Amino acid sequence: MIKDLYKEGYTQNRELSWLRFNERCLAEATDPGVPLLERLKFVSIFSSNLDEFFSVRVGALVGMKALKEDRIDNKSGLNTARQLKKIYAATAKLCRKRDEIYKDLKKEMRREGLVEVSYEECTKEEKEWLKKYFLSTVQPVLGAQIIDAHHPLPQLQSGIVYAAALMDYRSSAVLALTPVPGFLNPFVRLPGKKIVRFIHIEDVISVHMESLFRGARILERFKFTISRNAAVDIGSELADLEDYRVRMMQMLKKRKHMDLVKIEASRRPSLQARRYFERGLKTADCTTVITDLPLNRRGFFSMDTLIDDPAAKQRLQYPPYVPKLSPAFRYKKPLFAQVQKKDVLLSYPYESMDPFLQMVREAAADPAVVSIRITIYRLAKRARLVDYLCLAAENGKEVTVLIELKARFDEQNNIDYSEKLMESGCNVMYGFEDYKVHAKMCLISRRSGSALQHAVLIATGNFNENTAKQYTDLAYITANPAIINDALAFFRNMMTGVLDGRYRRLLVAPVSLKQTVLDLIRRETAKGPKGFIMVKLNAVTDEEIICALKEASCAGVEVRMIIRGISCILPEVKGKTENIHIRSIVGRYLEHSRIYVFGKGRSEKMYISSADFMTRNTERRVEAAVPILDKDIQARLHDYLDLCLRDNVKARRMSSDGRYRRIKENGELISAQDELMRTTPGSREVIQISGTVQSAHKGVIFDTRFEKPKKKTGKKKPAGGGSGKKA
C-alpha cells in the first residue's frame, strides 16, 4: 500500500466514485432519446445497483466499524465513519432525485395512455372491483401475521416487499405484516379498454390489510423492504466443515440473519411501530430511505405487458436486436477443425454465444474428443452449457469443471449446478480457499491420429447465455500452440492446487498479471511522449497501477481509459494526471469487456482479460489475460476502441473532480453500441443443429435442447432420410 496516497490530490474514494457511476445509470432515465419503458428500467437498475452496493460495500464498512477497525482510506483520507456519513448523504440525495425523475416519467406514461393510480384515485366502482379481486385472487396466497409475545417478528428477507400496519386488534395495539408474493403480477390492471389504468399489487395488499384481520382497526400502514449485510466471512466459524459445498450452504443461511444496512419504506413508521423492529432486528447501523416509488421496481421490466397496442409497445421500447452469428465460421462443418486454421473473436452481444455452445455440443458427440476443461463463475438459470457438459461426461469424455461457489449472489445457483455436473460424472472442483477463480476459460482436446489437437476459448465475461445478450464481452478462440501450452498448464495447476504456476504467454493473477501490467506501463513511461496506453475496463482501484499510470502521465505518455464504473484515479489533474483521459459509456448494454493496449506499431502488446485493475482482481483472484496475436483481430479491436472513443451520445468525460460531463458534439452523433448493432456483420439466424445426439452410456437420445431424454423407439427412418413429418 502506498502511504498517504490521497495527499497527492489525484485519487478519490472508491465508494463515492461508484455512487457517481450509479448516478450515470439514473441519468439514462432522463434521456429523451431513450424510449419511455427503457427509461423506467434504468430507474430499476439504479435501485437494484444501490441495494447490492449497500449489502456488499456498505455492509463491509459497517462490519469494520463494529469491530472498531477504523481504517483510513488511502485514496481519500476518510476513516470508516466519515465514509459511511458521506455515503448516506449522497444516497439520500440520489434517492430524492430518483423519486423526482419517476414523477416526471409517470406524467409521460399518462400522456401515452398508461396511467398509474393510487387507491385514493380509484373510482367507487374500481374500489369494489379491487376488493373482489383481492379476496378471490390475492388473499388466499398471503402469509399475514401479527407481531406480539406469541408471534415473534419473522425472519425478514432482503429484497422482499412487505406490507405492514400498526393496528388496534383485540383491544391492543399490534404490528401486522405480510410479504408481497413475488409470483403475483406486480400490476393490477383496472377494468376499462380505452385507457390503461393500473395499480401496484403492493398497494392493493396494503389498503386491504383490514380484510386479513377480522375486527382490526388500522392506525397506520406502510410498505417496506430491507437490505442485509452480505459481507459474510466463510473462513472462520465454518472452517471446520470439510465439504466446501456444505460450508457455502451454511454461509447462505448465515447471510439471511445478518444485520440490516438499509430499510426503504413508503413512509416513516411511527415510534411505536419502529419499536417492534428494533426489538427483533439489529438496526443500529442501518439507514432508512423514504420513497414515493413502488418498492418492487423489478416490475418496471414488464411494463410492456400492460400495453395492448403493438405499435405503441414497439415505440416505447428499444427496437429488438438478435445477436448475429459470427461470419468467421461455416456452420454446416465442424467448428473445432476451423479453429485449427484460424483464430476467431466473438463480440457479445452484437454476436451470438451460440458458436461456442455449438463447439461444446459437437465435442460432447465427437468420439475423437477426449476432454473438456472449463472454469465457471456465473451461469444462466437455465444453462444449455451445463447440459452439454453433462452429456459429454455421459459419453465418456473427461470433463473437468472448476466452478466458483463464492460468486456473490450466485452461490445457490452454482451449488445446484455443481451437484448436477457431479451426478453426470463430471470432475468438479471448487477453487481455492482465499482466492476466487474469476478467469473465463474452456479447453477442448481432441485425438487426431496419434496426436492431440486443442482449442481454447478465453473470455472477458461469463459463460452466461442470458447476460451474453445484455453485456458487451469478448471471447477469443485459438489453437495457437503457445497459448494452448499455457492453457494446459493453467488447468493442470488448478487441478493440483498450484497458484504460482509459470506461463509464457498468458497473464495469470495472482502470479504474473499485475507485475506484467506494471512492467508494460513502465516500458511506455520510459518512451516519454512517444509512449501510449489504452485500456477499457470496468474499474480501477489498484494503488500500484494507479501510481504507475500517474508516473506515465508525468512522463508525457498518452493514456486513454474507457472505464464504465469505479475510477479511483482522477484524470487531467495538472502536474499529475493531465495526460490521462477517462470516458465512461452507459447505454442499452452493460459495458463489461476488458482490453489492454500498451505501445504502438511493432512494440504493441494487446490483451483481453477477465481482470479489471482492481486489487481484488490483481491480488486476490485467479484471472487470465490472453495476448491477441492475430493481426486481423488486433485491427478489429482497434476499430472497436476507436469507436468507443468517438462516442458522443452515451459516453461521458470524467473531469478532474471525478464528475462526469457530456462530450461536446462535433458533427455527426455517434453511439458506439448503436453503431455496432448496425454494422456488425453476420447472420441473424439462430443455429439450427439437425438430428439428435446419442448418449453412449445412458441408452437415451437427447433432443437439440437436451431438456428431456427420449427413449429409443427402434423405428426405422422413412425412405429418403427425411424426418417422417409432413412439411
pLDDT of residue 686: 64
Q: Is residue 30 part of a domain?
A: yes
The parent domain of residue 142 ranges over 122-249+256-300
Q: Is residue 457 part of a domain?
A: yes
Question: Are 615 and 542 spatial neighbours (Cβ–Cβ below 8 Å)?
Answer: yes
3-state SS of the chain: helix, strand, coil percent to 5?
A: 40, 25, 40
Looking at the structure, tell me whether residues 190 and 242 fall in a common domain: yes
Looking at the structure, tell me whether residues 663 and 546 fall in a common domain: yes
pLDDT of residue 665: 75
Looking at the structure, tell me whether residues 559 and 655 fall in a common domain: yes
Give yes or no for residue 465 having a pLDDT over 90.
yes
266-304 pLDDT, tens digit per residue, is 999 999 888 888 777 767 678 999 999 999 999 999 999
452-464 pLDDT, tens digit per residue, is 999 999 999 999 9
Phi-psi region of 486 (alpha: psi -120 to 50; beta: other; left: phi over 0): alpha
Looking at the structure, tell me whether residues 139 and 101 fall in a common domain: no
- From 71, 93, 112, give the residue that closes a domain: 112
- From 448, 463, 495, give the residue that closes a domain: 495
List active site positions: 438
329-354 pLDDT, tens digit per residue, is 999 999 999 999 999 999 999 999 99
Which CATH number do you get for residue 275?
Answer: 3.30.1840.10
Q: Is residue 311 part of a domain?
A: no
Looking at the structure, tell me whether residues 478 and 521 fall in a common domain: no
Looking at the structure, tell me whether residues 546 and 662 fall in a common domain: yes
- From 472, 495, 518, give the residue that closes a domain: 495
State the burial class of residue 240 (Cβ atoms within 10 Å of its Cβ: 0-12, 13-18, 19+).
exposed
Q: Is residue 711 part of a domain?
A: no
Give yes or no for residue 712 having a pLDDT over 60.
no
Question: Are 227 and 95 spatial neighbours (Cβ–Cβ below 8 Å)?
Answer: no
Looking at the structure, tell me whether residues 63 and 88 fall in a common domain: yes
Calpha distance 481→9 (Å, rounded): 46
Looking at the structure, tell me whether residues 49 and 151 fall in a common domain: no
Least confident of 108-117, 225-234, 659-668: 225-234
Looking at the structure, tell me whether residues 525 and 636 fall in a common domain: yes
Q: How many domains does the chain have?
A: 4
Q: Is residue 688 part of a domain?
A: no
Looking at the structure, tell me whether residues 665 and 530 fall in a common domain: yes
pLDDT of residue 242: 52
Which CATH number do you get for residue 611?
Answer: 3.30.870.10
Model confidence band, residue 233 (pLDDT cutoffs 50, 70, 90): low
pLDDT of residue 714: 45
Model confidence band, residue 234 (pLDDT cutoffs 50, 70, 90): low
Q: Is residue 476 part of a domain?
A: yes
Looking at the structure, tell me whether residues 479 and 522 fall in a common domain: no
Nine cell digits for residue 102:
419517476
Q: Is residue 539 part of a domain?
A: yes
Looking at the structure, tell me whether residues 535 and 570 fall in a common domain: yes
**pTM for the whole structure:** 0.91
User: According to the 3-state scheme, what is the secondary structure of 74-143?
Assistant: CCCCCCHHHHHHHHHHHHHHHHHHHHHHHHHHHHHHHHCCEEECCHHHCCHHHHHHHHHHHHHHHHHHCC
Percent of the chain whose predicted confidence (pLDDT) is above 70: 91
Mean pLDDT over all residues of the chain?
Answer: 90
Q: Is residue 385 part of a domain?
A: yes
